[in-house]
Amino acid sequence: MGILNVTDDSFFDGGRHLALEAALTRARQLVAEGADLLDIGGQSTRPGYTEITAAEEISRTAPVIRALAAEFPALPLSIDTYKPEVAAAALEAGAHLLNDIHGLQGPAGPELARLAVEAGAAVVLMHNDPVLRELLPDVDPIPSVLAWLRRSLDLAAVAGLPADRIVLDPGIGFGKTQAQNLALLARLHALHAIGQPLLLGVSRKSVIAHACPGLAPEDRLEGTLALTALAVRQGVQLHRVHDVRANQRAARMAFTWREAAGCVAPSL
């Protein structure tokens, strides 16, 4: 999943692709590098982000989605938003997937679920529970994350969303201490207990600088590739990244190694 940030303040590429033509040029590059789908976001959700209006978010994302849907009709497009108005505009423009950082547990969750059901869209349900930070440092975060994601799945089921249109994201960097981020990355395989495909979004995030102190986002590619390879080893199927070609190569090598080692991929 190639990241296309149509924003002015994203932590790594804010402002680079804000103009329509710049966004389309970047999208074409991601596709040329081998992206299987694109995730378009009009508002940063980095720590300390400033919320923008739905109208502004729509003005940033809908034209890009409409142009990409026309140019790449077979390419799945995702809208990264938690606002129903933005999701509705994106679906009308040609998006196929709603990527909700609140996992349908935010105030707009029911409306987002309804939109997905009516449009026949898929959803990414991300773990984002600040209460997790309140756990004692020696408490395993996995049971809490599993329970929270199961609540998201229950909400999706109540809304009528089929399970085969749901992907789960452990939400690295959202509502977690760095120790909890690392604990999750070390045991991503435990999340297969829920039985849904997994998406990992860790590209160039601060957890890498936690392990390698002082690294700015532009210097975190190697750390991202290491985490991608380790996630493939644990059966993670989708990887949300800035650098498609490099991560695809790392994923392919890790997958080839996993097969040679006789590891069995999770059955989904």
Q: Which residues are catalytic?
A: 205, 240
Question: What is the side-by-side order of every strand in the sheet holding 97-100?
Answer: 2-5, 38-41, 77-80, 97-100, 122-126, 166-169
Q: How far is CA 187 from CA 89, 234, 256, in A?
A: 37, 8, 20
Contact 153, 166 (CB under 8 A): yes
Structure tokens at 91: 């679906």
How far apart (Å, rounded) are the C-alpha atoms in residues 266 and 9? 37
Contact 202, 175 (CB under 8 A): no
How far apart (Å, rounded) are the C-alpha atoms in residues 122 and 161? 8
How far apart (Å, rounded) are the C-alpha atoms in residues 112 and 100? 8
- Crossing angle for the helix pair 54-71 and 84-93, to the nearest 10 degrees: 20
